[in-house]
Structure 1
Amino acid sequence: MSSADVASLRRTALRVGVQTAVAVTVTVLVLCGIALLVMLSGQHDDDAAVIAGAIASADDVTDPPAGTWVVMLRQGVVEASPGLPAGASDEAVLRRSAEDRSAVTEDRVAGDREYRVRTEPRDGGALQVVLDLGRDHVQRTRLIESLVLVGAVGLLPAAGIGAWLGRRAMMPMANALALQRRFVADAGHELRTPVTLLSTRAQLIQRALLRRADVSSDVDKLVRDADQLAAILEDLLLAADPRGQATHEPVDLRGVVERVVETARSETRVPITFVPHERVGVLGSAAGLTRAVTALLDNAVRHADTGVVVTLRVDLAEAELDVTDDGPGIALEALPRLFDRFATTRTERAEGGRRQYGLGLALVSEIAARHGGTITAVTSDEGARFRLRLPALPGNSQNSATS
Structure 2
Amino acid sequence: MGLHPKIIDLTLDRVHRLLAALGHPELSLPPVIHVAGTNGKGSTQAMIRAGLEQAGDRVHAYTSPHLARFHERIRVAGHLISEPALMALLDDCEAANGGHPITFFEITTCAAFLAFARNAADWTLLEVGLGGRLDATNVVDQPRLTIITPVSIDHQQYLGETLAEIAGEKAGIIKRGVPCVVGPQEEEGLAVIETRAARLGAPLFIHGQHWHAFEENGRLIYQDETGLLDLPLPNLPGPHQIQNAGAAVAALRLLGRDAAACEAAVSRAEWPARMQRLRTGPLVESAPEIELWLDGGHNPAGGQAVAATLARLPARETHLICGMLNTKDVRGYMRPLAGHAAKLWAVSIPGEMNTLPAEATRDAAAAEGIPAEAAASVAAALAAIAARTPQARVLICGSLYLAGQVLKENG
TM-score (norm 2): 0.22
Tell me which structure has the larger Cα radius of gyration: 1
Structure ranking higher in strand proportion: 1
**Relative contact order higher in (CA < 8 Å, ≥ 6 apart):** 2
TM-score where L is the length of structure 1: 0.23
